[in-house]
Amino acid sequence: MTGGFVVEGGRRLCGDVTVKGAKNAVLPLLAAALMAEDEVVLEGCPRLMDVENMAGILRGLGCRVRRQGDCLTVDPRSADCFEMPERLSGELRSSIFLLGPILGRFGQAVCSYPGGCEIGLRPIDLHLSGLRALNASIEEAHGRINCLPSVLIGAPIHLDYPSVGATENIMMAAAKARGVTTITNPAKEPEIADLQDFLNAMGARVSGAGSDHITIEGVKRLGGTVYRPITDRIAAGTYLAAAAMTAGDVTVKNIQPRHIAAITAKLTETGCRLDSTETSVRLRAPARLRAPQRLETLPYPGFPTDMQAQMFALACIAKGTTIIQENVFESRYRHAAELTRMGADVTIRDRLAIITGVDELTGAEVQAGDLRGGAALVLAGLVAQGTTTVQGAGYIDRGYERLEEVLGSLGANIRKF
């Protein structure tokens, strides 16, 4: 990933930031739009590499996609292809979301294995077994997934693990299947409820998102809609962590505080004062943070794995020792070695990270290896002595729109190259 960020440390972040639509909500909604029989308009869509790649895949399937400001319009009526473009689907993990909608639209599908950040094994077995339970005939060979012509039929499906992607894929495919589908042990992330609301806005019959059981009654037709996705809880958490690390005073607006309750609870442990309204959270940080003693990533409503790296960076300069246990992905500590180059005191033991806070970090040239790890390195640069150069801006651009402008508006000295 080319390009990077240059960060001069030592600036306190203050001010307000407004959060846009969530990447992890927008991507499945774009996928689901393929099944509509009229135009779909998504409002508040961020300009992210992953979003543009998903739009490119839809165009490759024959959809007309256009952007006007923060609105993305998808006209799926011209879609005439059930084979995903190999290059784009290979770059985007979320391309797997399109299997269910393509099956719902065409009754068959072809795609390559999805790509994305290298943060460990992310098997798609649950996606495929769920689709097979809906009567999809699937063959895997030579790096390709071939879903042969079949009629989707509703069925009871139990997920061995509450996978977000598998839950969403099954929901979308089942929306056009014959009969009723029930999903037990589904993911409960806010993005699941958002997908349910979006599908229902198109005419689907989905209920139970956020609970232990989701029920989908298949319908013959899904229409167009105008819809505003939920805002990005991980971006909000990242900005709050940046404020905490810089002894800042930042208000994050246009969010639902309950979606980030696990994050704000940990930030409160560090000595930060947090005040919430219905749509905002203000954080005021002390001069020196206290280390959160233990942080364990878990499915929602537990602490999100997508915030682990940012809190890892925070722990590096907090007073005391933090133990982090990564339960969701087995290779999500690639940022640890880079933070060590900046002076962090870190020990990694399998899925455990033991971090003892230091008085200061020192600027260095570091390499982002994935989206959230890259953001963590930028945050570390905000508090490091001297200049930090974070290579690999492409990873960070996958999930943060103009991160340098957002942080710069709060007082950071940061530029992109």
Task: Give every CB contact of residue 128 below 8 A, 6+ residues apart in sequence.
Answer: 138, 140, 145
Q: What is the pLDDT of residue 120?
A: 44
Residue 385, strand partner residues? 362
Instruction: Give dist(CA 70, CA 57) in Å, integer.
Output: 19
How far is C-alpha 308 from the chain's CA centre? Answer: 13
CATH architecture of 23-227: Alpha-beta prism (3.65)
- Predicted confidence at residue 140, as pLDDT, reads 87
pLDDT of 198 above 80: yes
% pLDDT > 70, the chain? 95
Q: How far is CA 192 from CA 129, 167, 228, 293, 391, in A?
A: 19, 8, 14, 30, 33
Q: 89 pLDDT band (50/70/90 cuts)?
A: low
Q: What is the pLDDT of residue 93?
A: 64
- Average pLDDT (249-264) is 98
CATH of 4-19+231-416, one of 3.65.10.10, 3.40.50.1700, 3.40.50.300, 1.10.10.60: 3.65.10.10
Give catalytic residue positions: 117
- Mean local confidence (pLDDT), 5-9: 98
**Residue 355 vs residue 123, higher pLDDT:** 355
CB-CB contact of 88 with 70 (8 Å): no
Tens digit of pLDDT for each residue in 94-146? Answer: 678 889 999 999 999 988 776 544 544 456 889 999 999 999 999 988 878 89
pLDDT digits (tens, 9 = 90+) for 288-347: 999 999 999 999 999 999 999 999 999 999 999 999 999 998 768 999 999 999 999 999
Res. 87: pLDDT tops 80: no
Domain with CATH 3.65.10.10 in the chain: 4-19+231-416, 23-227
Q: Do 89 and 112 form a contact (C-beta atoms < 8 A)?
A: yes
Please state the rounded mean pLDDT for residues 21-31: 96
Beta-carbon contacts of 344 under 8 Å, excluding residues fewer than 6 positions away, are 316, 336, 355, 358, 361, 380
The CA distance from 152 to 62, in Å, is 22
| pLDDT-based confidence at residue 84 (cuts at 50, 70, 90) | confident
**Structure tokens belonging to residue 114:** 């999805």
Tell me the C-alpha distance between 151 and 137, whole Å.
Answer: 9
Question: Sheet holding 156-158: strands in order across?
Answer: 156-158, 180-184, 213-217, 205-207
* Residues 176-196: tens digit of each pLDDT: 999 999 999 999 999 999 999
Q: What pLDDT digit, counting tens, does each position of 262-274 carry? A: 999 999 999 999 9
HSE-up of residue 204 (Cα within 13 Å, Cβ side) = 32
